[in-house]
Amino acid sequence: MKFTLVELWGHMGIFARAIVGVLFIMSISSVYVVIDRLFVFYSAWTNSKRFGEKMAPILLSGELERAASTTFEGKTGYLGRVVNAGLAAFRTAPKGDDDFIIETVARALERQSAREVQNLKRGQGVLATVSSTAPFVGLLGTVMGIVTAFQQMAATGSGGLGTVSAGIAEALVTTAFGLLVAIPAVMCFNWVQNWIDARAIDISESSNEMLDGVSRALRKRRLEGDTDDADAS
């Protein structure tokens, strides 16, 4: 017997082939998730960057009414959805209580931020599952393959390494497949996690800038109100 993949596959039992099939499905699932996240991340980042470049000067100036009335063509990305949630809370909050307005906007930003981070994490569980279980799935095939090899040796009544070498080689192939599936999945999982962590920081910074803008807008409104009262008196 030649120890090639074709020869090994031909001598594999039903259980070993089932293990390889499961590992193949796991690898396809992880590849699909990675490709999907690449498109989603690129689109979300470019849209958010375009939104931030247009909205940041308005928020820094404290012109919340102008920011709320600004329209954008196309998608605004995760950053736009978070900021728009804060602007919507600012518009609907009852006037007169500045602390309550800031708290309302902060809660709206926090809720939307959590949703956006969760959306970015979609599919990450698949990578985590594949990276953590694929080696054990392969090891299961190896254990059962070795058991089968020794059963064949006992049935033939002959011993020696030559008798069981083919069976052990078949068994070890499943472990190799498991590692080949798990290692890229671990690397992709870490990359996705690092990217999401970086975007979470962006969202947090933008939320804080939004709250600063709300504070400046309320202060400006309060000063204008005081000026009007002084003129009236």
All residue ranges of the chain with pLDDT < 50 are 1, 229-230, 233
Long-range contacts of 1-7 (CB under 8 A, 24+ apart): 1/166, 3/169, 5/173
122-178 tens-digit pLDDT? 999 999 999 999 999 988 888 887 877 777 777 666 555 555 666 677 778 888 889
pTM: 0.79
Determine the pLDDT at residue 230: 46
